[in-house]
Structure 1
C-alpha cells in the first residue's frame, strides 16, 4: 500500500491517516485544540517551515477539518478554526495524549492535565460502548466486516473468510 493511495483503501483508519496521519498535522491539530489559530503562531510554536505548514493547513481545510475565517480586511488576514468535523478529532488527540502520558512521560509525570469542566476533576479518556455504556478495551471488541468493505475484506480483516 502506497502512502498516496491511503484514501482509496476500504478502511476508515487508512482514509483518516490520509488526512491526519503525519506528525506535523497532528501537532497542528494539538495546537488548534489549545486555541492557536493564526499561521504565524503555528509557525513560531512548532518551528515548522512555512511551506510544510501551509501544505498541512491547506490539506486540513480541503478536508473540512479547519475553516479559514478572516480576522482583518486590509490586508486580508485569515485564521484557522476547527469545524465540527475537526472538533470530532478531539477524542483521537486526547487518546494519543493519554497514551503518551501513560507510556512516554518522564519521572515528573504528564506535562499537562485535562480537567473536566463539569466536575472540576482531572480526567483521562475512556472508551465505552455506545449501546450499553460499559467501558471497553481491545479485548472486548470483535471486528466484523461492514457494508463499506466490498470485495477486499481479506486484505484488511485477514481472519474473516
Structure 2
C-alpha cells in the first residue's frame, strides 16, 4: 500500500492526521491504547469469563462450567481480572460450607459493555446459524442492542469520516527526538 492509500480519502482505513501520518518514523509499541486493552482482556479465556460475568455468573464453579475452561485457566483469568480492577471479590457462604469468594464486575469491568455489544453485533455477520446463541436486547422494549461510534459532540461517525491522531503530538515528537538522541 502506498503512503497515499492509507490517508484521508480512503474509506477503508482511518485517515491519519498530523505527525501520525508519518507512521514509519515511530512505533506505537508499549503505549497504544488498543495494545494496553488487549493486555488486560485480550485472551479468549478472559473474554469468556467476562461474558459469563455479564450474563450473571458469580461463582467460580459456575464460571468454569459455563465457559468450558479448566479450573486453572479460570482461576488465572480471575486473578488477572481482579489485579487489573475489572472484577471484585465478595465473600459468600452457603449453609454448612466454608466461606468462598464470588466475582462481580467493577465499574471498570462494566465499562466493557459496549465492547460486548459490539462483539455480539459483529458475530451476527459471521454467517452461521443466527437462530442459535444469544441476543442482547433493551429490557424495556426488547429491541436488539447495537454498538455505534459517536464523537463527543454526539455525531454518528462512519469509518470514512473517522481519523486517527496523536493525543499530545508535541510530547510524542519530543519523546521520539529524545530516543533518537540516545542511540
What TM-score bracket applies, with the shorter chain setting the length? 0.7 to 0.9
How many pairs align? 145
1:77 pairs with 2:100? yes
Distance 1:109 1:129 in 2: 33
With a CA cutoff of 8 Å and minimum separation of 6, indicate the structure with the bigger relative contact order.
2
Which is further off, 47-56 or 65-74? 65-74
CA RMSD of aligned residues (A): 2.3
Partner in structure 1 of residue 70 of structure 2? 49
Question: Which shifted more, 119-128 or 79-88?
Answer: 119-128
Report the CA distance between 1:59 and its aligned residue. 0.3
Computing the radius of gyration from Cα coordinates, the structure with the larger value is 2
Decide which moves more: 17-26 or 66-75.
66-75
Could you tell me how far apart the structure 1 residues matched to 2:174 and 2:65 are? 44
- Seen in structure 2, the aligned counterparts of structure 1 residues 130 and 110 have a Cα distance that, compared at 3 Å, is farther
Alignment TM-score, normalising by the size of structure 1: 0.80
1:11 corresponds to: 32
Q: How does 1:119-158 map to 2 (within 5 A)?
A: 119-131=141-153, 133-147=154-168, 150-151=172-173
Equivalent residue, structure 1, for 2:134: 112
Q: Give the CA deviation at 1:123.
A: 2.7
* 3-state DSSP of counterpart to 1:139: helix
What is residue 26 of structure 1 aligned with on the other side? 47
Looking at structure 2, the residues matched to 16 and 91 of structure 1 have their Cα atoms a distance apart, in angstroms, of 14
Q: 1:93 offset after TM fit, Å?
A: 1.4
Determine the C-alpha separation between the residues in 2 that align with 1:144 and 1:45. Answer: 41
Q: Give unmatched runs, 5+ long, in structure 1.
A: 1-7, 155-161
Q: Per-residue displacement from partner, 1:67-97 (whole Å, max 9, x unpaired)? A: 0001118512110000000000011111111
**CA–CA separation in structure 1 for the residues paired with 2:66 and 2:155:** 39
Moved over 4 A (4+): 151-154
Task: Note the residue ranges of structure 2 that are not aligned, 5 or more in a row.
Answer: 1-28, 177-183
What is aligned with 1:68? 89
